[in-house]
Amino acid sequence: MDGVAKIIEALTKLGVLIVATAFLWRLFPSLLALIASRAFSVKVAGMELTVQEATQKLQRSVEDLQSEVIRSRIQDDRGVKPSPPPVAASAVKRRPRRILWVDDVPANIAMEISQLNSNSIDVVLVKSTEEAVKLLAYDQNFAAIVSDMVRKENGSNNKIAGIVLLRSIRKTGLSLPFYVFSSGKSEAEFEQTVTAEGGNGITSSSLRLLEWVTEAVAG
């Protein structure tokens, strides 16, 4: 049984990399065509990005892919399985292929949303903690919740908005997997806090987030 579990685990990880690579492979020719035609913008996941923004995001995605492949190889050599803290037993069950994502600047996550959509995972997007809490009061039919860490809310920049949302959700007793997608700086600074507050992981890696969400959807 252990052997079968390891094979499934390896295939899941490989599948995430394949999906991400395929997405980049499809997007790259489109960007080249846009540049050649001197167009000014491109739509990704329904959001309009300038060619420069899309190119920069593509570059970051390629770098992320390279980093994750290297990380995976190193951890495989060490016999370490990269994973977020375990999801509560009560939350482990077959879930809908949709997640709630909270981010006040949706264009920043257009690539990630498109990657999830290409993997048949729907993303419901809201821009604030207040919107998320109101939505979850009547609709909890999500596989997971993803939040950025820093958000402009109520006219000011909240540097721990992700933590505030996590606390609010856990106070209601909702145990859905909660992941924070942030900068590398926030990841290093708040990793222990996210875990202590009942979160399931914080990362600056698009690929790692895609892996976590895919696992959450699979239940």
Confidence of residue 12 (pLDDT cuts 50, 70, 90): very low
- For 131-181, what is each residue's pLDDT tens digit? 999 999 999 999 999 999 999 998 899 999 999 999 999 999 999 999 999
Amino acid at 11: L
Confidence of residue 107 (pLDDT cuts 50, 70, 90): confident
| pLDDT at 58 > cutoff 80 | no
Q: In the chain, where does DSSP find H-type helix?
A: 2-37, 51-78, 110-118, 129-138, 161-171, 184-196, 206-218
Average pLDDT over the chain reads 76
CA-to-CA separations, 199 to 33, 108, 111, 166, 175, in angstroms, rounded: 41, 22, 24, 7, 9
Q: Is the dihedral of CA 127, 17, 175, 148 positive or negative?
A: negative
Q: For tokens 């997640």, name the residue.
A: 99
| pLDDT at 40 > cutoff 50 | yes
Instruction: Specify the long-range contacts of residues 52-59, CB closer than 8 Å, at least 24 apart.
Output: 53/107, 54/27, 55/31, 57/110, 57/111, 58/24, 58/27, 58/28, 58/31, 58/111
| pLDDT at 85 > cutoff 60 | no
Nearest-10 Cα torsion for 180, 76, 14, 45: 20
Confidence of residue 2 (pLDDT cuts 50, 70, 90): very low
The structural domains of the chain, with segments of one domain joined by +, span 2-78, 89-218
Confidence of residue 90 (pLDDT cuts 50, 70, 90): very low
Mean pLDDT of 101-116: 89
Cα gap 161→133, rounded to integer Å: 13
Which residue, 41, 150, 36, 158, is CA-closest to 103? 150
Taking the CA of residue 44 as centre, how many other CA atoms within 13 Å lie in the half-sphere pointing to its CB?
Answer: 29
CATH fold of 89-218, please? Rossmann fold (3.40.50)
pTM of the model: 0.67
Amino acid at 91: A
| pLDDT at 17 > cutoff 70 | no
Residue 12: both structure tokens together: 């899941």
17-21, 59-63, 103-107: least confidently modelled range: 17-21
Cα gap 17→174, rounded to integer Å: 30
Amino acid at 171: K
Strands 178-181 and 144-147: parallel
What length is written for the chain?
219
